[in-house]
Chains A and B, each alone.
Chain A
Amino acid sequence: MSISEQTLAESRELAGRYPKARSGIVPMLHLMQAEVGMVNSDVIEACAEILDISTAEVVAVATFYTMYRMRTEGGEHHIGVCVNTGCGLLGGDALYEALAVKLGVGHNETTPDGKFTLERIECQAACTHAPVLTVDWEFFDHSTIAEAMDVIDRLTAGEEVLPTRGPAVRGWRAAERTVAGLDDGLADEGGGVDELMLAGLKVAKAAESGVDGTVKK
């Protein structure tokens, strides 16, 4: 089995966080994918064994969610372009096309050097910042084609790349560990909430507030 003792130990710890161990399958698949690069037979069997469920049940979950890679290993960096309605209309479709040409790969494909995996992604709940580009699930808000090309060039050169918010880009596998729910200690890096994100909340609160400014229950 190609999965390290450390990952197995962390997986057991994840399973232990839930009243029923099988609830831990989603983070556990991310964690093992971080090590293996995809969800392969080793991952499926290891998950099934730790959670005491059948491999069919593991595959059912793993194939339902698009963030698990079932067929090929992910590249060093994951490039995501939101192509849902808002982002797509505001430049996401063009951004995706440009990146596809630049990288020479299509949806869910990895460049031959193993550097980049391109994916059309679904809504990242950042429509206020459309179009959204993600690199290893870090946000590049209001992304333009020129900026995206620059990000690719700098990643290719091995330079540090900072997203609009959040910590510096660290590679897809490292990000997968964060997605798995393991504390990377980077929660406060690079800022977070901005005025655009809070605009809607402010409107809602103003509407709920009474004349005296107190919030209605």
Chain B
Amino acid sequence: MSTTSHEATGSDTPTVKMITGTIDGTDVTVPEGTMIIRAAELMGVEVPRFCDHPLLDPVAACRACLVEVEGMPKPQPSCAVPLGDGMTVQTQLTSEVADTAQKGVMEFLLINHPLDCPVCDKGGECPLQNQAMSVGRPESRFTGQKREFPKPINVSSEILLDRERCVSCARCTRFAEQIAGDPFIALLERGAQQQVGTGEEPFDSYFSGNTIQICPVGALTSEEYRFRSRPFDLVSVPTTCEHCASGCSMRTDYRHENVMRRQSGDDPEVNEEWNCDKGRFAFPYLQLERLATPLVRENGQLRRASWPEALRIAADGLAAARGRTSVLTGGRLTMEDAYAYARFARVGLGTDDIDLRARAASDEETDFLSGEVAGSCGPVYRELESAPAVLLAALEPEEESPIIYLRLRKAARAGTKVFSLGPFASQGLEKMAGSLVECVPGDLATQLDQLDDETAAALSQPGAVILLGERAATEPGAFAAMSRLVQRTGAEWAWVPRRAGERGAIDAGCLPGLLPGGRPLTDETARQEIASLWGIDPDELPATAGRSLAATVAQIHADAKAASEAGEEEEFSPELAALLVAGVEPDDIPNADQFLTALDSVPFLVSLETRPSEVTARADVVLPVAVVTEKSGAFVTWEGRRRPFGTVMPQPTSFTDAVVLALLSDYMDLATPPREVDDLRTELGNLGAWQGSRVSPADVPAGSAQQPGSGEAVLASWRYLLDLGTMQEGEPHLAGTRKPAVVRISAATAAANGVEAGSRVRVSTDTGAITLPVELTEMAENVVWLPLNSPDSQVLVSLGALPGDTVRLERGDV
């Protein structure tokens, strides 16, 4: 997110020494340290393998890849021996020794492997099955009793293990230790009894599903997919994960119009070959109760309606409220759908009241996103990996953007120093060997300004990166303070939202005062460009910046108050007469009850949704739209990288948001806007980068933490990756791997409030209370942390408080 970001790293790349060896009589030149198996791949020779994985450290556990190396007395594992300069290697293609050795190993591996391929989930896509065909014997010589185990065992509520199928390659255990940092599975016992297993705790890792995908046999399966399909009956479509702004490449496998499973895609620039369990397993929501037809309200009740009827009512209602409508798009739209809303709001509804943020937000953040984030690009994942130091501010990557966590952990293992501004050192930070810079919620801006010299010096190294999370919106002055820190250190920076659709919607112009392509609403050139793109006169664009979500809610409440004061005989005309709402979950919004009463009292409410929700229940017209598998589009990662994806399962009867908005335009007798994804993308792309002046963020003074009184504490909170999010519904086995909700306070804070280890703590406000078991944590004094949206801990709903607010703290009922 600066002009110099991509130059700094290139020149620092160390020169690589190249060496030349000979494989099967052909010279091959590779970087020094390249394993023989990789060098052979480069020249098109495939050596059998099970334990070898390019992203895991070599272990030479399975011995399937034996090759003959000149001068060495015995065949060598090609996955663990680097090709040397002048080394002569012969694989199974040219060496009988290697060929015999590989066949011998395969025979040994199959001795204890059950012949249950016909009922095994891996059958049809199994490396063991495939390589037994290529290097195994046609018939087994083994006549003894195979080793058996009771099957299967749950290593977690989601992951199952059939031990007799395991070939002890240690891919899963190495992944857990080296990549995820969650070594909750290990190779137990020895000899013939050697088996993968857990200790006293289950394999509750956010990344556990990857072990299934890299298992070269069918030993690891998921509760979700086990026995549900054969690989050759699946249709596979490359997709992009819709859950967070990490932007994982994925593969969606479906059968009979049902998504059966999702796997990580292979994208070295983004998620490498990994994804998180939310992305992998949280898809049943796509098939939960959907809205089948449009609904319209009649005599206070919603009833089914035809598309023409519903569109007519919606179009008439919105046309009557032209200039007095507010648009709330949520953070989950594709970039193209978001762009359709940005355009429809300004052209179709004559309003600039549009906000993509269904979460805590601030005007300061609006300026920052408009001025600094919209249309920007970089730093990227690779730069995180090569950064000498990374500062996390208001961001817990493992919980809020898991692929950033994986990349930072990889970086930390290679020497990157990770710092985090937060109330305590989270498990994720410890797994990145990171350092905590203690920061009480509310104090972030001050802490950024007063960052200690050691951390600041680390950030002053070329290539250092600051990552600012979306929770910074509740930290007064944080954006300005970060800009000052960037100036002081020269570090790169990026803003990391949680939802997949936020970055794309910002680029598409779904913020008040921000037109598509980073163009300010108030800039004459920008207005000209946008107006000519949309075929309207610049004067038809709204003149001044519109309302945010919070301002919209406040206006509706003000209108309602004014209406009740006006009395019945006067004709009252509200400032806001209609709302157009896309996928918004009210419980994610601070003061959800205020939001819901606003939905109740706004004169006309149109909801575009996939499933029944608290918004659709209050709407005058509900128009069903496509879920992510039924449409194409693009999400934009936190880096600003576009992640286009295609339709998984085309559904002729389901429309994208853009198509529905185009239909509404037709019914409102407006010029039809583009409605197909390609057209929308082209139109947005034609805008190009904005070179003109940008919104300059107001210099908000740095906030500082509240000073809680006796029996009080400052609230700290963020979401666990696996929580009560509506897109995780329908997958109980995944829910079983959630972290338990606890209250974290320091021992001193506990003692001061009469709380002992093992007791429960009651956290309360005037709105309500949450009581949870305490976990005494080394952390800032007079701060209380609890998960934001977990079972028994829904902070926004139950407490009506935001991080940084003061809450009451006392010992709970035992």
- Please list the residues of chain A having a beta carbon within 8 angstroms of any beta carbon in chain B: 41, 44-45, 48, 53-60, 63-64
Minimum CB–CB distance for A73 against chain B, Å:
19
Residues of B184-242 contacting chain A, CB below 8 A: 184-190, 197-201
Residues of chain A within 8 A of B201, CB atoms compared: 54-56
Residues of chain B contacted by A64 (CB below 8 angstroms): 188-190
What are 22 of the A-B contact pairs (CB < 8 Å)?
A: A53-B183, A54-B183, A54-B184, A54-B186, A54-B201, A55-B184, A55-B198, A55-B199, A55-B201, A56-B184, A56-B185, A56-B188, A56-B199, A57-B183, A57-B186, A59-B197, A59-B198, A59-B199, A63-B189, A63-B190, A64-B189, A64-B190
Of listed B188, B197, B198, residue having the most chain A CB within 10 A: B188
Please indicate the chain B residues that have their CB under 8 angstroms from the CB of A45 in the complex. 200
Question: In whole Å, how far is B552's beta carbon from the nearest beta carbon of chain A?
Answer: 49
Structural contact, B190 and A41, CB atoms closer than 8 A: no
Can you add 18 more A-B contacts, CB < 8 Å, to A55-B199, A56-B184? A44-B199, A48-B199, A53-B183, A54-B182, A54-B184, A55-B198, A55-B200, A55-B201, A56-B183, A56-B198, A56-B201, A57-B186, A57-B199, A59-B197, A63-B188, A63-B190, A64-B189, A64-B190
- Enumerate chain B residues within 8 angstroms of A63, measured Cβ to Cβ: 188-190
Tell me the bound Cα distance from A64 to B187 in angstroms: 9
Which of A57, A59, A60, A64: most chain B CB closer than 10 A? A60
Report the minimum CB–CB distance from A163 to chain B (whole Å).
Answer: 29
B633 to chain A, nearest CB (A): 41
Shortest distance between the CB of A51 and any CB in chain B (Å):
12
Give the nearest-CB partner of A42 in chain B: B200
- For B189, the chain A residues whose CB sits under 8 A away are 63-64
Contacting residues, chain A, for B190 (C-beta < 8 A):
63-64
B199 near A54: Cβ-Cβ < 8 Å: yes
Contact status B199-A58, CB under 8 Å: yes
User: How far, in whole Å, are A77 and B157 apart by their CA atoms in the complex?
Assistant: 42
CB distance from A60 to the nearest CB of B (A): 4
A60 vs B183: C-alpha distance when bound (angstroms)? 11
Cβ-defined partner of A41 (8 Å) among B182, B198, B200: B200
Q: Is the interface of B mostly helix, strand, loop or mixed?
A: loop
The docked-state distance in angstroms from the alpha carbon of A18 to that of B102 is 40
Cα A178 to Cα B668 in complex, Å, equals 89
Q: How many Å lie between the Cα of A103 and that of B713 in the bound state?
A: 65
Tell me which residues across on chain B come within 8 A of A56, comparing CB atoms.
Answer: 183-186, 188, 197-199, 201
The dominant DSSP class at the A interface is helix
Task: Name the contact of B187 in the complex, choosing from A41, A48, A58, A60 (C-beta under 8 A).
Answer: A60
Which residues of A have CB within 8 Å of B182?
54
Provide the residues of chain A in CB contact with B186, threshold 8 Å: 54, 56-57, 59-60
Interface centre among B182, B184, B189, B199 (most CB of A within 10 A): B199
Q: Taking the nearest CB of chain A, how far is it from the CB of B627, in angstroms?
A: 38
- Closest Cβ neighbor of B200 among chain A residues: A55
Interchain nearest-CB distance for B203 vs A (Å): 8
Q: Output the nearest chain B residue to A47 by Cβ-Cβ distance.
A: B199
Within the assembled complex, what's the spacing in Å between the Cα atoms of A198 and B773?
A: 64
Q: Interface digits, B155-199 against A, CB 8 Å rule (1 contact, 0 not)?
A: 000000000000000000000000000111111111000000111
Bound complex: CA A98 to CA B288 (Å):
69
Residues of A within 8 A of B183 (CB): 53-54, 56-57
Is A44 in contact with B188, judged by CB distance below 8 angstroms? no
Chain B residues within 8 Å of A44, by CB: 199-200
User: With the chains together, A114 CA to B574 CA distance in Å?
Assistant: 87
CA A45 to CA B199, docked complex, whole Å: 9
On whether the beta carbons of B188 and A60 are closer than 8 Å, the reply is: yes
One of A41, A53, A54, A59 near B188 (C-beta < 8 A): A59
The CA-CA distance from A55 to B202 in the complex, in Å, is 10
Residue in chain B with minimal CB distance to A64? B190
Chain A residues contacting B188 (CB-CB under 8 Å) are 56, 59-60, 63-64
Nearest residue, chain B, Cβ from A70: B189
Closest Cβ of chain A to B13, distance in Å, is: 32
Question: What chain B residues lie within 8 Å of A60 (beta carbons)?
Answer: 186-188
The residue in chain A whose Cβ has the minimal distance to the Cβ of B198 is A56
What residues of B have a CB within 8 angstroms of the CB of A58 in the complex? 199
A41 vs B201: C-alpha distance when bound (angstroms): 11
| Cα(A48)–Cα(B198), bound, Å | 13
- Residues 540-581 of B at the A interface (beta carbon under 8 Å): none
How far, in whole Å, are A48 and B199 apart by their CA atoms in the complex?
10
CA distance A40 to B186 in the complex (A): 17
In the complex, A64→B201 CA distance in Å?
19
Contact partners of A53 in chain B: CB under 8 A: 183
Give bound CA distance, A56 to B197, whole Å: 7
Closest to B430 in A: A52
- Please indicate the chain A residues that have their CB under 8 angstroms from the CB of B200 in the complex: 41, 44-45, 48, 55
Give the shortest distance, in Å, between A47 (CB) and chain B (any CB).
10
Chain B's nearest CB lies how many Å from the CB of A67? 13
Residue of A nearest to B183 (CB): A54
Task: Give bound CA distance, A55 to B203, whole Å.
Answer: 11
Q: Nearest chain A CB to B188's CB is how many angstroms away?
A: 5
In the assembled complex, the Cα of A63 lies from the Cα of B188 at a distance in Å of 6
Q: How far is the CA of A53 from the CA of B187 in the complex (A)?
A: 15
The 8 closest A-B pairs by CB, nearest first: A55-B199, A60-B186, A56-B199, A55-B200, A56-B186, A59-B199, A63-B189, A54-B183
Query: A172 vs B189: C-alpha distance in the bound complex, in angstroms?
Result: 23
Q: How far is the CB of A158 from chain B (nearest CB, A)?
A: 37
Cα-based distance from A53 to B182 in the complex (angstroms): 10
Chain B residues with Cβ below 8 Å from A41 are 200
Alpha-carbon distance A157/B200, docked complex (angstroms): 41
B154 to chain A, nearest CB (A): 14
Rounded to whole Å, the gap between the CB of A107 and the closest CB of chain B is 15
Q: How far is the CB of B506 from chain A (nearest CB, A)?
A: 40
C-alpha gap A59/B197 in the complex (Å): 9
Complex-state Cα separation, A55 to B197, whole angstroms: 11
Q: Which of B348-379 contact A (CB under 8 A)?
A: none
State the CA gap A44–B186 with chains docked (Å). 14
**Distance, CA A57 to CA B188, complexed state (A):** 9
Shortest distance from the beta carbon of B318 to any chain A beta carbon, whole Å: 57
Measured CB to CB, the closest approach of chain B to A56, in angstroms, equals 4
Tell me the minimal C-beta distance from B555 to chain A in angstroms: 53
B207 to chain A, nearest CB (A): 15
Tell me how far the C-beta of B197 lies from the nearest C-beta in chain A, rounded to whole angstroms: 7
CB distance from B256 to the nearest CB of A (A): 39
How far is the CB of A166 from the nearest CB of chain B, in Å? Answer: 29
CB-CB contacts below 8 Å: B76-122 with A: none
Q: Complex formed: what's the CA distance from A59 to B155 in Å?
A: 14
Contacts of B184 in A (CB 8 A): 54-56
Q: CA separation between A69 and B197, bound complex, in Å?
A: 18
The CB with the most chain B CB atoms within 10 A, among A41, A53, A54, A58, is that of A54
Q: B residues within 8 A CB of A54?
A: 182-184, 186, 199, 201
Q: In B628-669, which residues have CB < 8 Å from any A CB?
A: none
Q: In the complex, what's the smallest C-beta–C-beta distance from B163 to chain A, in angstroms?
A: 13
CA distance A64 to B183 in the complex (A): 17
Q: How far is the CA of A163 from the CA of B188 in the complex (A)?
A: 35
- Bound Cα distance from A58 to B186, whole angstroms: 9
Q: How far is the CA of A60 from the CA of B168 in the complex (A)?
A: 13
CB of B155, distance to nearest CB on chain A (Å): 9
Least CB separation from B188: chain A residue: A63
B802 nearest CB across to chain A (Å): 34
Q: Which residues of A contact B199 (CB under 8 A)?
A: 44, 48, 54-59
Measured between alpha carbons, how far is A208 from B183 in the docked complex, in Å? 49
Q: How far is the CA of A57 from the CA of B199 in the complex (A)?
A: 7
* Bound form: Cα–Cα A58–B185 in Å: 11
Residue in B183, B186, B198, B201 whose Cβ sees the most chain A Cβ within 10 Å: B186
Q: Which residues of B727-748 have CB atoms within 8 Å of chain A's CB atoms?
A: none
Residue of A whose beta carbon sits closest to that of B199: A55
Minimum distance in angstroms from B775 CB to a CB of chain A:
14
Distance from B153 Cβ to chain A, minimum over Cβ atoms (Å) = 13
Within the complex, the shortest CB–CB distance from A86 to chain B, in Å, comes to 21
Q: In whole angstroms, how far apart are the Cα atoms of A55 and B185 in the complex?
A: 9
Q: How far is the CA of A55 from the CA of B198 in the complex (A)?
A: 8
Q: Which residues of B contact A57 (CB under 8 A)?
A: 183, 186, 199
